[in-house]
A and B are shown apart, each in its own frame.
Chain A
Amino acid sequence: MAYFLNTLFGSIVPMCITALVTMAITLIFKTSYTTNFAQGVISAFGAYVVASSLNKLGLSIWISLPIGMFAAMLIAVAVDVLIFRNGRYVNALGKQIITMGLISLVVGVIPLIFGLSDPAFKSFVNGNITFTLSDGSVASVTKNSLVCLALAVVVIAAIFILLRFSKWGLSVRATASNEYVAGMMGINTHVVTAVSWGLAGALGALAATINASSGNIISGYFMTNYQVYAFLAGILGGFSTFYGPVIAALMIPLANNLVQYIVNVLGVPELTGWSMVIVYAVALVIIFFKPQGIFGKKIARKV
């Protein structure tokens, strides 16, 4: 039982990170019609800013975090304004390739600004909370992961509320359904897209900070795995809604840890390494049979 609880507690941080990154990628996909492959490196850039404000300026993490989020936001908005707005007539694949080019660009910029060494990082809070269960076994959860959970829940909830009830949310939904018509209806799609990019950058920086605060070493590519989860979550949940990808994003890391748990309970611990393979394979099979995603709606296409 304690083992099961520990598995669940261990999944908290990956779930938060994946959900945040997925939210960011979905926002960009809905407004710019492209999968942003540079999400991972822009997030990493945010984490670098947080780290240098921690180490060089000696600020507390609660002040450094907004600084980092703001920096990533600026970069993301710059990408939209400078590159995507000028590349309106680039086709879908071209847009994707531009974001791939961005990866090299940002990865090249990071060492120029922050130097080559891996920066040190701090947790939000230190220490564990331990429970003794009825059968005498002990389960523990780090306080840091609970803080991360709270942060992620608050931020994602805020974004959903914004999307549902604010004017900006309405504009995003209108732009997502048809950019051209939204523009004709008097929505400034440029602003909507730029704000979405900015928000995505900030979300990414938050995710990267959470990732770094739970002890992972920062590098240019350290968010790549989560980015891949997020893409998969996007099509698994179906990009046609906002909640679908986020739910799928919560499922992927959880499923990974649960597979490991089940494999260990069944007494074949040598299969632990296969957990990700199994999760990916199941996800791909689901996508193969439901190309629109689990929560997606099928859109009829005219021949």
Chain B
Amino acid sequence: MDKRLAKNYALLGKQTTDGDGLTACLRSFFKNSTMQIILFAIIMSVVGALSQEKILPYSWLSAFASTFSYAIAAVGFCLLMGYSGLASLGTGGFIGIGTYSVHYIMSEAGLPFGIALITAIAVAVLIGVIVGFISLRIEGIYLVILTLGLSEILRNLYMVLEDRITISTNPNLFGIEITRQMSLYVVVVVLAVIMIITGNIINSPTGRAMLAMKNSTAAAQAMGISLMKYRLMAFIICTVYASISGTMLIIVVRGAMASQGTGFYALITSLNILAAVIIGGYKSIWGAVFGSFIMYGMQTVVLNNIKFLAENPVIITFVSGILVIIVVMFYPGGLAQLVLELRGKARKLRIKMKEARYGKDLG
């Protein structure tokens, strides 16, 4: 018998029984982006439950619900701008597709909420196709203004159809009535699903094709990427997300007015979503969600606790404006870039600490 072999086996056994298997397993679990998103959804649901029980402030419930509703639109915009290199100012108008679908299909016709959602998606696909075709002929700043015009058409249409809508019946999802308090959970689940899907698209051949298109249309075409297909796809995704965001918003807020200058469908919504994506970092879906929090949720959740700001809410508008300008001028990658840079700095610090302990490699 080979004694050396036996010795090696014995040593091997010692190593494997040392056991850092669990931490490695956990680490790989949390590094999985889908798991991160699910974890985020669970945490937000817990926060919602706590604030429903008034352990956390009750106002957080609706603040988070509307923030995450807007975040759905922001994630779509992130795909449109960060990956396809297109821009649109139609988000406000597209949100209206969702709200009016819910109004007409669910509230007026009395059909289930699911059908309203499907209608919203179908109409959004149609509008997305129209915008996509326009984007093939018109590019850049002109496209932005054109989508703005389209959004205004939609807003005027809403004003003519029914200026003020209110949803009095609770939507019914799989037999459960969604009250206003419960809407946060629905929104969080929808946002999580949307984030997972978008994350998949970004890392798939479709995402790469979109990036190639953004980089250079000529090279993308030479690589077999059809501009029409991917531009249409980008705009369809963006409009559908905005429309879904509208259905969620109307569940959360339960009422909207089209002629209001600062309402859901006005230019200011499109601008705010754009600002959210820019602040968060236009290539990161987490950035888009965080940016929407800054634009829509931060006032209730953070700033109202500071007495001075609670008394002067206009300062927040002012500061967010300055923030957008600063980010565009000095941090084109947004907060996501900041996080990456901080991570890099932390790594450097760790190396420096090692050097301080053992001395620099003089090589």
Contacts and interface: CB of A to CB of B under 8 A. Distances in A.
Interface of A: 34-35, 37, 83, 86-87, 90, 92-94, 96-98, 100-112, 219, 221-222, 224, 228, 231-232, 234-235, 273-274, 276-277, 280-281, 283-284, 287-288, 291, 303
User: What 9 A-B pairs come out closest when comparing CB atoms?
Assistant: A108-B318, A104-B321, A105-B321, A101-B324, A108-B317, A273-B160, A101-B325, A221-B261, A280-B153
Given A100-B274, A101-B275, A83 B137 contact: no
A104 B317 contact: yes
Interface string B299-313: 000000000000010
- Please indicate which of the listed interface residues A86, A104, A109, A235 has the most CB atoms of chain B within 10 Å of its own CB: A104
Contacts of A274: 156-157, 160
Nearest to A83: B325
Nearest to B324: A101
Interface residues of B, number: 46
Interface in B259-291: 261-262, 266-268, 271, 274-275, 278
Nearest to B325: A101
B324 A98 contact: yes
Nearest to B151: A228
Interface of B: 81, 87, 134, 137-138, 140-142, 144-146, 148-150, 152-153, 156-157, 159-160, 218, 261-262, 266-268, 271, 274-275, 278, 312, 314-325, 328-329, 332
B318 A96 contact: no
Contacts of B317: 104, 107-108
A235 B142 contact: yes
Contacts of A107: 314, 317-318, 321
Contact of B145 (A35, A90, A276): A35
Contact of A284 (B150, B159, B319, B324): B150
A98 B274 CA distance: 11
B160 A92 contact: no
B267 A228 contact: yes
Contact of B329 (A86, A96, A108, A235): A86
Contact of B144 (A86, A96, A219, A287): A96
A35 B156 CA distance: 23
29 contacts: A35-B141, A35-B144, A93-B81, A93-B87, A93-B140, A93-B141, A94-B329, A96-B144, A97-B274, A97-B278, A100-B271, A101-B321, A101-B325, A103-B271, A103-B321, A107-B321, A108-B317, A108-B318, A221-B261, A221-B268, A224-B266, A228-B267, A231-B145, A231-B149, A232-B145, A273-B159, A274-B157, A277-B160, A284-B134
B271 A112 contact: no
A228 B149 contact: yes
Nearest to B160: A273
A221 B153 CA distance: 18
A104 B318 contact: yes
Contacts of A83: 325, 329
Contacts of B146: 235, 284, 287
- Please indicate which of the listed interface residues A83, A94, A96, A281 has the most CB atoms of chain B within 10 Å of its own CB: A96
B172 to A, nearest CB: 33
Given A221-B268, A235-B145, A273-B160, A288 B153 contact: no
A107 B261 CA distance: 13
A109 B317 CA distance: 9
Task: Specify the main secondary structure of chain A where it touches its partner.
Answer: helix
Given A93-B81, A101-B321, A221-B268, 20 more contacts: A35-B144, A87-B328, A93-B141, A97-B275, A101-B325, A103-B271, A103-B321, A104-B275, A104-B317, A106-B321, A109-B318, A112-B315, A221-B266, A231-B149, A232-B149, A273-B160, A277-B153, A284-B149, A287-B138, A287-B149
A100 B277 CA distance: 13
B121 to A, nearest CB: 23
B325 A277 contact: no
A43 B218 CA distance: 41
Given A224-B261, A231-B148, A284-B146, A108 B324 contact: no
Contacts of B144: 35, 93, 96
A106 B271 CA distance: 14
Contacts of A276: 152-153, 156
Contacts of A283: 149
Given A108-B317, A109-B318, A221-B268, A280 B261 contact: no
Contacts of B87: 93, 96
Contacts of A35: 141, 144-145
Nearest to B154: A277
Given A94-B332, A224-B267, A281 B153 contact: yes
Contacts of A109: 318
Contact of A102 (B150, B314, B321): B321
A195 B137 CA distance: 34
B262 A221 contact: yes
A112 B275 contact: no
Nearest to B163: A273
Contacts of B318: 104-105, 107-109, 112
A185 B87 CA distance: 35
A273 B271 CA distance: 26
A111 B267 contact: no
A13 to B, nearest CB: 19
A16 B315 CA distance: 34
Contact of B314 (A87, A111, A280): A111
A262 B322 CA distance: 46
Contacts of A105: 318, 321-322, 325
B137 A288 contact: yes
Contacts of B138: 287-288, 291
B247 to A, nearest CB: 23
